[in-house]
Structure 1
């Protein structure tokens, strides 16, 4: 089994594979001997396998290390960093994780990928970001449109033992169904209704349309008395129904009744 080549950005994965291969060759005990004495032949074999997996620039730097354990520790310090540097990087990473939040309009899969990438960065520093922390972060930072399914998950599932992929899958199913029904956001629909009402009022003002006598009165009073409404007796602009010339042409009795009716309507209005 050949050792994988160590690159600049794959130390964590490389270390996992290298440990497994050294263990298959029964020489991992030379790297992590514990309390037992190190077998010289196994130590040389482990050192040779490690050196064969290094690029030239790294190989020249660790070639002076005489044991497999020294080579392994040197690589770990080089790619992971000293303890103080590692602690500082972890503190910075924790701050970024705490501030992480799903942006407006961001796809759920994209945000899930960002969380998974954060877990990989923790692993590169030798720490583990477990499913419980990822699930809690996911449920706490999704937008309001996913709140119903979040409430259902927290009520009927044990989020402390739920896998991150399972939580992400449940949210994805709900999100797809909501999108298919065209109900991404209730606030957007309300805003459209309000905007349409505003457009309708503007259209009414452009047409100069007071819908009744009282609206005509309010328009006339607000503009200094220069504007008049539209008569709903003859349809002409410039006077109201009670002032319509058609009333003067009608018989006196009918005109009186209409005038009384007009006054009565005004009182009712």
Structure 2
């Protein structure tokens, strides 16, 4: 079930599938010109009062979008967040882990990508789906996986038939 905000369908995160949810939410926040505030925050000590007021308003809008995108069971985890960046970091750390955990998971995904091979009797489309799932997971963890690298991997991994 999803709710609408400014005619955009906001995906609801219920505690599972964080990687895909955060990709969708980032796209929504970019489309709303809010992602920069989520990613880097803003300077609360800004001397230009007009800019500070604009940043606070945009941050509140971004925080609202994030809060709308989480199920009631999850919203309590970000209830204390005063800014969109704080909420985003709390969710990321809880559902993806801190930097060390993410690096370990990313290493595992890299290894899995490098060693994946098409199996006898496997349909090409199923194999491509597996490869793209791994690539998308790597990208969700911040890895820049070039399309050329993916194509080369697929071509090397296909069976002769």
Does the TM-score normalized on the shorter chain lie above 0.5? yes
* Partner SS, residue 144 of structure 1: coil
Residues 18 and 95 in structure 2, CA contact (< 8 A), matched pair in contact too: yes
Match of 2:3 in 1: none
Match of 1:46 in 2: 62
Moved over 6 A (4+): none
* Partner SS, residue 93 of structure 2: helix
Identify if the C-alpha distance between structure 1 residues 60 and 136 changes in structure 2 by more than 3 Å, giving closer, same or farther. Answer: same
Match of 1:6 in 2: 13
Q: CA RMSD in A?
A: 2.6
Match of 1:74 in 2: 90
Normalized against structure 1, the TM-score is what? 0.47
For 2:29 and 2:114, the matched residues in 1 are separated by 38
Match for residue 152 of structure 2 among 131, 136, 140: 136
Match of 1:56 in 2: 72
Match of 1:234 in 2: none
Normalized against structure 2, the TM-score is what? 0.72
Structure possessing the higher relative contact order (Cα contacts under 8 Å, 6 or more residues apart): 2
Residues 30 and 69 in structure 1, CA contact (< 8 A), matched pair in contact too: yes
For 1:119 and 1:25, the matched residues in 2 are separated by 26
Q: CA deviation at 1:27?
A: 4.1
Aligned residues between the structures:
145
Give structure 2 stretches of 5+ with no counterpart: 1-5, 47-51
| Deviations 1:25-46 (CA, angstroms, capped at 9, x unpaired) | 4544432456764532332232
| Deviations 1:184-237 (CA, angstroms, capped at 9, x unpaired) | xxxxxxxxxxxxxxxxxxxxxxxxxxxxxxxxxxxxxxxxxxxxxxxxxxxxxx
Structure 1 window deviating more from structure 2 (4-13 vs 115-124): it is 4-13
Residues 12 and 123 in structure 1, CA contact (< 8 A), matched pair in contact too: no
Q: CA deviation at 1:86?
A: 0.8
Q: Based on CA coordinates, which of the two structures has the bigger radius of gyration?
A: 1
